[in-house]
Amino acid sequence: MITSTKLRTAVGATAIVLLTAGPALALGPFARSSGVLSDLAPAASGPFDGASARVQLVESSGASHAVLTVKGIGATAEGQTFGAHVHDGPCIAGDGASALGHYNSHVHAGLPAEISDQTEVWLDFTVSNGEGTGNANVPFVPESGSRSVVIHALPTNPQTGTAGARLACLTVAW
Ligand SMILES: [Cu+2]
């Protein structure tokens, strides 16, 4: 009985620490960003003009879970699927090239690039009621840096990882 009581106390104390310490713990997201999307195709109006997004990456035992939510998408995109990925470089409006290529865990490890949804963070989403959510689970934790999520014009090709023109982006730095 005494041991059991002590255990319960310990668990209770841990719970209090979790509530008060918040972001310092590995259990929370290590990267989070939200805001109005930056336009990477300013020459033409598109469904992501004025749309906003939120991205969150959470680590768990050396793996990562990523979630992208986009809101305020124009009606012309309703029902369409768009490619979206974590890119190596930052998001700079009007300059899609600055986002560089996809963050690829093999490339960062000095290995030959293997392109898949397990070496890169693919967050494709389908638009419904002006919103879309993409999810990814990958067996690595991306290295810190000033990176971005880029939204493309087409769904991601699973063989090549390509997804057409770069339309919009959001910086994610950690
Ligand atoms: Cu991309």
Q: How far is the CA of 91 from the centre of ligand 1 (A)?
A: 12
Does this model's pTM top 0.75? My answer is yes
Q: Could you tell me which residues are beta bridge partners of residue 138?
A: 64
Q: How far is the CA of 121 from the centre of ligand 1 (A)?
A: 9
For 8-22, what is the mean pLDDT?
44
Q: How far is the CA of 89 from the centre of ligand 1 (A)?
A: 11
CATH 2.60.40.200 given to domain 26-173: yes
Share of the chain above pLDDT 90, in %: 82
Q: How far is the CA of 30 from the centre of ligand 1 (A)?
A: 21
Residues with Cβ–ion distance below 5 A, ligand 1: 85, 150
The reported pLDDT for the residue numbered 14 is: 44
Q: How far is the CA of 75 from the centre of ligand 1 (A)?
A: 23
HSE-CB of 149 using CA atoms within 13 angstroms = 33
Tens digits of residue pLDDT in 91-103: 999 999 999 999 9
Instruction: Please give the distance of CA 84 from its chain centroid, rounded to a whole number.
Output: 8
Q: How far apart are CA 119 and CA 142, in angstroms?
A: 10
- 3 state DSSP class of 27: coil
For 65-71, what is the mean pLDDT?
98
Tens digits of residue pLDDT in 31-53: 999 999 999 999 999 999 999 99
The reported pLDDT for the residue numbered 139 is: 97
Q: How far is CA 93 from CA 11, 61, 73, in A?
A: 47, 35, 18
- With contact defined as beta carbons under 8 Å apart, do 98 and 84 qualify? no
Tens digits of residue pLDDT in 107-163: 999 999 899 999 999 999 999 999 999 999 999 999 999 999 999 999 999 999 999
The reported pLDDT for the residue numbered 28 is: 73
- With contact defined as beta carbons under 8 Å apart, do 55 and 37 qualify? no
Predicted confidence (pLDDT) at residue 167 exceeds the cutoff of 90: yes
